[in-house]
Structure 1
Amino acid sequence: MFQLYLALIILFLLPLCYLITNSILEIRTQIFILREIKPSKNLKELQENDILCLRTVYFKRKKWLSYISMLEFYINKSQNNEKTVEYHKQIKLCHTYMKLEKFII
């Protein structure tokens, strides 16, 4: 009977451990990206690849205002119309998520 209780506890704890480990790895990856990009480069001269990495980090952490301000800076800096259109779409998406969070909370 005791082995049955242990088996049931293990069956319930394994998915929980998986979810916690997955979250820790995701946070570790985000921290690694931020540490790699921010101190090594001037934020005003980031490459498109670095902008995409920062974008995913800000988006996953739900730092909408930081994300919007970064995109607005690059809209003002960018000469390429295709990039600015994409940045505007991302800003609109951020505003949508911000409004959804207000309704959920």
Structure 2
Amino acid sequence: MAFFALSGCANDPAPNEQMRLTQQAVEQARAIGAGQDIPEMAQAESKLARAEKNMAEEDYKRARMLAEQAELDARLAEAKVLTQKSERQVADLNLRIERLRKQLRAVQ
């Protein structure tokens, strides 16, 4: 019985493509400003490191699972950063609009 469990792990192919996608997602999130201050980014980097360790140990099933999770965490971190930037831009635009309204009222 243990033999079948072990042979199942050996049949999992190395998740090279998933690892590449995950590394790209982490790099892209970093490039737009996602850092360790965003919990999902910290999780993504931690899971990617564990996935790389599992790859080295040829535990491909676990490596794939962690890499997939890390990719999703990195994409969520990226989305959060982009949302924060957008919210700041909207707030800035609203402030500018309000200033223009006050200027128009003063002119009338």
TM-score of the two chains, using structure 2 as the length reference: 0.35
Higher relative contact order (CA 8 A, sep 6+): 2
TM-score of the two chains, using structure 1 as the length reference: 0.35
